[in-house]
Amino acid sequence: MKINGNYANIQQSYLFSTVAAKVKQYSQEHPQADIIKLGIGDVTLPLCSAVCDAMHAAVDEMGVQETFKGYGPEQGYGFLKEALVSYYAGKGVTLMPDEIFISDGAKSDLGNILDLFDRDNTVLVPDPVYPVYVDTNIMDGRRIIFADANESNGFLPMPDKDTDADIIYICSPNNPTGAVYNKQQLKAWVDYALARQALILFDAAYEAFISGDLPTSIYQIEGAQECAIEFCSFSKTAGFTGTRCGYTVVPAGLERGGMKLNKMWLRRQTTKFNGVPYIVQKGAAAVFSPEGQKQIRQNIAYYKNNAQVIARTMRELGIWFTGGENSPYIWLKCPGGMKSWDFFDYLLEKANVVGTPGSGFGKNGECFFRLTAFGDAGRTLEATERIKKLIKNDFRG
Ligand code: PLP
């Protein structure tokens, strides 16, 4: 018997456990400290009433013989896929229901999609980035190369014609940097992928935070249906981090190596997955009702207001940052050239504010720091007041 030796190559992730351990130790040593956490990437507002009402009604259906449901379609119920078809139509994107696959979240699909690809492919991943892209490919033993995101490109790396990539990850709005690609920039990636017959894996988990003219789907870019799979989620859009529901779009015309990726993914899902609970899918569909849209938009506006409060503080302090505008993340350059973990300790000890060290997201994250807008509005404001006072005193005095 041989185990998958690639697991030995995955770096242990100490990021959030180290953050938690440091905060715990500090709290034990300073029990009076009023610590504000702007580190987590989880939502805090509850599910909206439109979603809860739909789920309650679905529970009642499940308790009655006539409306009880057992196994559902592995790729999702028609009512939710139709709701998504309309949602995409609103973005100017035409999809067929069979191109949409409902799942228990973007993280699972981002990992599972790799079942479709040979291990011989070279994978291009931005640095810094959501760690799941890297770790899932290491588990399979694929070669990973990095696209450098940094201050000079605004943390939005562009394709380099000399880079030999087969699978390309793009996350926009980005976690952790909050940076968002515009249409022209995404077009350059689509053109690069088409020219190479490469495949883009586009993570749109934060698309609902975009306002204005920026693309919210890769399929708003001409040619993307021939070279991209899109992953999205109800987690950050509608507070489903604990409820679990997401979706993946695999265009019907997308082919590689003479195989239709849509058919392969259907086969993969019907073989290895038994679908998302009916109750959860009913809740997700309610997100697209007029009432649901109004309510989730209010929640997103609440988070975006927090992001604005943090962004304003950074501007006032003259600190370079990305994000905060169309994203729940603010990615800032640590003042005075401080390293990420040094700035973490400094903020924790001097302002009792917790964030996430950028170095935990890749080597280019060193000397950067992530703050999130998912907290309470009053506490976020209080945290920014403390940061302002501290930095003005120590760096701008
Ligand atoms: N993609 C990105 C960029 C994320 O930041 C996250 C969660 O933080 C996910 C995907 C996971 O989404 P889900 O909760 O749907 O698994």
- Ligand 1 pocket residue status of 176, Cβ below 6 Å: no
Cα(388) to centroid(ligand 1), Å: 30
Q: In this structure, which residue's CA is closest to atom 2 in ligand 1?
A: 205
Q: In this structure, which residue's CA is closest to atom 11 in ligand 1?
A: 107
- Ligand 1 pocket residue status of 107, Cβ below 6 Å: yes
Structure tokens at 9: 């190559």
How far is residue 336's CA from residue 216's CA, in Å, rounded to a whole number?
Answer: 35
How far is residue 162's CA from residue 165's CA, in Å, rounded to a whole number?
Answer: 9
Cα(129) to centroid(ligand 1), Å: 11
Cα(171) to centroid(ligand 1), Å: 10
- Give me the half-sphere count of Cα atoms (radius 13 Å) on the Cβ side of residue 70: 1
Atom of ligand 1 nearest to the CA of 240: 14
Cα(125) to centroid(ligand 1), Å: 16
Atom of ligand 1 nearest to the CA of 105: 15
Give the pLDDT score at 13. 77
Q: How far is CA 198 from CA 116, 144, 164, 287, in A?
A: 14, 14, 9, 34
Listed residue (300, 278, 276, 296) closest to 287, CA to CA:
296
- Ligand 1 pocket residue status of 136, Cβ below 6 Å: no
Return phi, psi of residue 38, to 5°.
Answer: -115, 35
How far is residue 234's CA from residue 286's CA, in Å, rounded to a whole number?
Answer: 11
How far is residue 66's CA from residue 4's CA, in Å, rounded to a whole number?
Answer: 47
Give the pLDDT score at 12. 82
DSSP H or E segment with residue 370: strand 368-372
- Ligand 1 pocket residue status of 235, Cβ below 6 Å: yes
Cα(198) to centroid(ligand 1), Å: 23
Contacts of 228 (CB under 8 A, 6+ apart): 190, 193, 199, 200, 201, 202, 218, 219, 251, 254
Listed residue (201, 178, 16, 18) closest to 107, CA to CA:
201
Q: How far is CA 45 from CA 298, 300, 373, 375, in A?
A: 11, 10, 12, 9
- In this structure, the strands spanning 246-249 and 36-37 are unpaired
Mutate to test the pocket of ligand 1, among 231, 236, 244 (most ligand atoms within 8 A of CB): 236
Structure tokens at 222: 């001409």
Listed residue (357, 374, 356, 304) closest to 39, CA to CA:
356
Q: Are 352 and 33 in contact (CB under 8 A)?
A: yes
How far is residue 79's CA from residue 95's CA, in Å, rounded to a whole number?
Answer: 14
The CB density around residue 381, as the number of other CB atoms within 10 Å, is 17
How far is residue 215's CA from residue 187's CA, in Å, rounded to a whole number?
Answer: 10
How far is residue 243's CA from residue 276's CA, in Å, rounded to a whole number?
Answer: 10
- Ligand 1 pocket residue status of 238, Cβ below 6 Å: no
DSSP H or E segment with residue 123: strand 122-127
- Ligand 1 pocket residue status of 240, Cβ below 6 Å: no
Give the pLDDT score at 365. 98
- Ligand 1 pocket residue status of 131, Cβ below 6 Å: no
Cα(14) to centroid(ligand 1), Å: 19
3-state secondary structure of 318: coil
What string of H, E and C letters represents the secondary structure of 56-80? Answer: HHHHHHHCCCCCCCCCCCCCCCHHH
Cα(343) to centroid(ligand 1), Å: 26
- Ligand 1 pocket residue status of 105, Cβ below 6 Å: yes
**Hunting for tokens 């029990």 — which residue is that?**
31
Q: Are 322 and 154 in contact (CB under 8 A)?
A: yes
How far is residue 354's CA from residue 24's CA, in Å, rounded to a whole number?
Answer: 11
How far is residue 212's CA from residue 192's CA, in Å, rounded to a whole number?
Answer: 26
Largest CA distance in the chain: 72
Give the pLDDT score at 225. 98
- Ligand 1 pocket residue status of 130, Cβ below 6 Å: yes
Give the pLDDT score at 397. 60
Listed residue (84, 109, 42, 20) closest to 243, CA to CA:
42
- Ligand 1 pocket residue status of 126, Cβ below 6 Å: no
Return phi, psi of residue 280, to 5°.
Answer: -70, -40
Q: In this structure, which residue's CA is closest to atom 1 in ligand 1?
A: 205
> Can you list the residues of the chain whose pLDDT is less than 50?
none
Listed residue (299, 308, 391) closest to 353, CA to CA:
391
Cα(67) to centroid(ligand 1), Å: 33
Q: What residues are paired with 230 via a beta bridge? A: 202, 249
Listed residue (258, 175, 193, 270) closest to 229, CA to CA:
193
